[in-house]
Amino acid sequence: MGETSRAADTAGIAPRDEQRRAADEVIVTDPETTVEIAVRLAAASGFDRSSRDDRARWLAALAEAVEAHRDELVALAAEETHLSAARLTGEVTRTATQLRFFAEVAREGSYVEATLDSPDASLTPPRPDLRRMLRPLGVVAVFAASNFPFAFSVLGNDTASALAAGCPVVVKAHPGHPRLSRRVVEIGRSALGEAGAPRAALALVDGFDAGTALVRHPLVAAVGFTGSTRGGRALFDLASARPAPIPFYGELGSINPVVVTPAAAAADAAAIAAGLAGSFTRDGGQYCTKPGLVFVPEGSGFEAALAGALVDAPTQTLLTDGIASAFDSGSAALAARDDVEVVFAGDRATDASAPVVVATTVDRFVAAHDTFLEECFGPLTVLVRYTGDAALMAALAVLDGSLTGTIHHAPGEDVAGLTGALGRVSGRIVYNGWPTGVAIAWAQHHGGGWPATTASVHTSVGATAIRRWLTPIAYQDAPAAVLPPELADGNPLGVPRREDGVVIVGS
């Protein structure tokens, strides 16, 4: 019997202590032999049967472990990603904050949507005793992102929300930071074990073949992905083509349109231009929320102000050679088009990641919108010059889905129409600000229509990110002994519940 089969068999039938020892011994980095081991050990870990309080405690332990190894991890991440130590230090803090945030989401308990209806024989049809809640789906596959080596990687937002839901996680490492990924999973598994959690609830696999095998594995119940539209679409199709299709929650490409009104430009074009310069060049323009398309009033002076703001803009070595090559070819092709004008281009001979700004008219944008709406990952933005509300609204009508939409307006200006137009395609609308930077909060939404995400009703940031890894179950006339404590008479856990249509706040 081969090593893979033997380990998988052990995961399925061995006593709990043997399973835990087996999980501790597996270093899941070989794509040819470890997907089966990692998934089966995760599925057999018992993590789905853990209590919400235990999961909250384990998530807090992961946060403490990440912070305890901050200096080591930042140094390793800087070597692999070229991001600055200051940026990475802040990202470690964000990652720990996310883990603690989902610890509180798990502990608070309203996410399970506990709902009870009392029996009523007088109704037509008669109503039985019904109790419903959300339960964990099972093993979740998480594909790490290139641009956030901590916050959307091994212990990032997808992993944190899945663990909070009660789902074990197998992470597919990103090739842009493989050594960091291995070290973070080692630290995470150690922290889980020391806190009394099954270490097998967190595992790592590496390589292209491992990624496809992970999506195909019959015990994987859902997938979270952050990456390119092309790669995400291929995996989305793979998840849908399985004999039993599974949900695929992908964050793919987003152009994040911005509208600057004539009144806003007249009031302070220089300040808005400076804000745009800082936002679309931040960390080399390698943010999913980078404003890549900006509608500006023609003749407002905005373009000159933006070019001036970019003269001393900092540059950033891009994350990988592949990303740098794609940015170079993509930005060059756009700048060479007959229907655009180059507003600003840094010295590409000395800095391949120098920012690029091109401009076009509304008519040309609408005619070639498929091209202009294709994300160019890196420090590039497209300006669309408009004259009049009708032209602007015609251009907004051809937009694809985006994570964000932004409106810069003057105080008291009526922007209801713009809000409606951008709200049609955007998951979050920002007013007089910039979309880069996504707060961790209960009300946050980080999602949007295709191609921004594959499931626009869900988010990858904020409390309701946990909803992706849950599925409903209803109990009809169930014996008390089989009910989860969240649905038991008397609400022993004090979770928020809806009882006979009335919301009851937990104690």
**Catalytic residue ranges:** 251, 288
Q: Find the farthest-apart pair of alpha carbons in the chain and give their distance in angstroms, rounded.
A: 81
CA neighbor of 495 nearest in space, from 507, 481, 483, 480: 507
Between the CA of residue 72 and those of 90, 181, 422, 446, 495, what are the distances in Å?
14, 13, 42, 30, 39
Other residues' Cβ atoms within 10 Å of the Cβ of residue 252: 24
For residue 309, give both structure tokens: 């703001």
DSSP-derived secondary structure letter, 456: T
DSSP string, 343-404: EEE--TTT-TT--EEEEEEHHHHHHTHHHHTS---SSEEEEEEE-SHHHHHHHHTT---EEE
Q: Encode 41-54 in three state secondary structure.
A: HHHCCCHHHCCHHH
- Find residue 259's DSSP bridge partners: 295, 407
List Cβ neighbours of 222 (8 Å cut-off, separation of 6 or more). Answer: 137, 138, 140, 141, 167, 246, 247, 248, 249, 468, 469
Length of the chain: 507
Edge-to-edge strand ranges of the sheet holding 341-345: 341-345, 356-361, 380-386, 293-297, 257-260, 402-408, 426-431
Helix (H, G, I), strand (E, B) or coil at 115: strand
Closest CA to 222 of 161, 283, 131: 161
User: What is the radius of gyration, based on Cα positions, of the chain?
Assistant: 25
Amino acid at 400: D
- Quote the DSSP letter at residue 2: -
For residues 416 and 394, is the Cβ–Cβ distance under 8 A? Answer: no
**Backbone phi, then psi, for 303, in 5-degree steps?**
-65, -40
Tell me the Ramachandran region of residue 87: left when phi exceeds 0, alpha when psi lies from -120 to 50, beta otherwise. Answer: alpha
Structure tokens at 249: 């929650």
Distance, in Å, from the CA atom of 254 to the CA atom of 438, rounded to the nearest integer, reads: 14
CA distance to 137, 215, 239, 241, 454, per residue, from 244 (Å) = 14, 11, 9, 8, 18
Token output for 46: 């018992």
The kind and range of the H/E element at 504 are strand 502-504
Tokens of 263: 């009144």
Q: Helix count (H) and strand count (E) of the chain? A: 17, 17
Cα–Cα distance, 489 to 242 (Å, whole number): 40
